[in-house]
Amino acid sequence: MSEPTLRAKQLDAADELAPLRSRFVLDTASDHAADAAGVYLDGNSLGALPANVPARVEDVVRRQWGELRIRSWDESGWWTAPERIGDRIAPLVGAAPGQIVVGDSTSVNVFKALVAAVRMVDPARDEILVDATTFPTDGYIAESAARLTGRTLRPVAPAEVPSALGDRTAVVLLNHVDYRSGRLHDLPSLTAAIHASGALAVWDLCHSAGALPVGLDEHGVDLAVGCTYKYLNGGPGAPAFLYVRRDLQDRFDSPLPGWNSHAEPFGMSQSYNPAPGALRGRVGTPDILSMLALEAALEIWDEVSVAAVRAKSLALTDFFLECVAAYTEPGRVTSVTPDRHEERGSQIALRCPDAGDVMKQLIDRGVVGDFRNPDVLRFGFSPLYVSFAETERAARVLAEVLG
């Protein structure tokens, strides 16, 4: 038995989160070649299926919809699902209850947050800063929001934000974790710098929610959005969430006012009167099937702390880098993910010239990560279900594929 294999066994034996693995639907050794039982390292794109979700969805479809029908809006709690599920997500991102509403997509919530933020600041502040390395959709939305509000959009690298801030800055949109490299940006210091300039901070938490502590309330974040189908395992197309800091809620002027966010939604008034609190973030009828699948998926967090998840995440990614260094020829791959823990999310990105072909071969052998143009292999580590033995196996198979 090799030294990394032995270490993996020891680390798994000491892992307090190891029992949670059985709560997910995952591959078994028989599903793949004998030398590479399934290793799922793409939870940063789509989280694995929690085992309790299918039965919950069946109940929603067969009983709540099939039998109770319209009564389920009250009797099954459909109407209050967006804020109820928001309160389940709140502690995972460091927020008190009553500040998060679930619904719509990340893109739609980014649009709501940006436009509402611009409406909260002095009209003389005519510039929006956006993370120049952001996921493309955030950039598209920011550009549209700037045009609609008569602002100028300026892309800026996160490290350059403090020097780019000024009295023209209205809002800054940043990603907590870079989706390509896995770099974790300094949310506390960047938020403080944004506030010192008189601007508002909007954070995209898609690659940090459910993977590491965020501290929205502690660090005074103004608005934040995030998806729920990655580390929160809500399923494909699961609704996103929107955070509005409590003291800003009365000023939150949504660019998408809908009947679901009206103070009297069934009053059918021709004039819009927004509901109090985070409910202003609602728009139309919630996607109940996806919403309640997400609620079931979140139950596992009743048994685990974000701090424990973060500790295992760092241990997994450290171990993966050690195994890659031990198994692969020097220089064959290069990590673009920071070594320092305070700068690392929950993924490892490796650069190699033939990354696209390498990832195809890895997937054929049961090691599932993903490829990002032009030359990056991404491996996402979801601590709730990824083991150290799988981590070692993934590095070993990667070395074999690299030849």
Active site residues: 135, 204, 229-230, 378
> Are the beta carbons of 392 and 369 closer than 8 angstroms?
no
Closest CA to 319 of 396, 384, 248: 396
Amino acid (1-letter code) at residue 87: D
H or E stretch including 357?
helix 355-364
> Torsion-angle region of residue 135: left (phi > 0), alpha (psi -120 to 50) or beta?
beta
Between CA 219 and CA 189 the distance in angstroms is 9
SS3 230: coil
Between CA 117 and CA 110 the distance in angstroms is 10
Residue 109 tokens, joined: 């919530």
SS3 335: strand
Amino acid (1-letter code) at residue 197: S
> Torsion-angle region of residue 233: left (phi > 0), alpha (psi -120 to 50) or beta?
left
Q: Which residues of 337-374 are buried (b: 16+ CB within 10 A; e: fewer)?
A: beeeeeebbbbbbbbbeebeebbeebeebbbbbbbbee
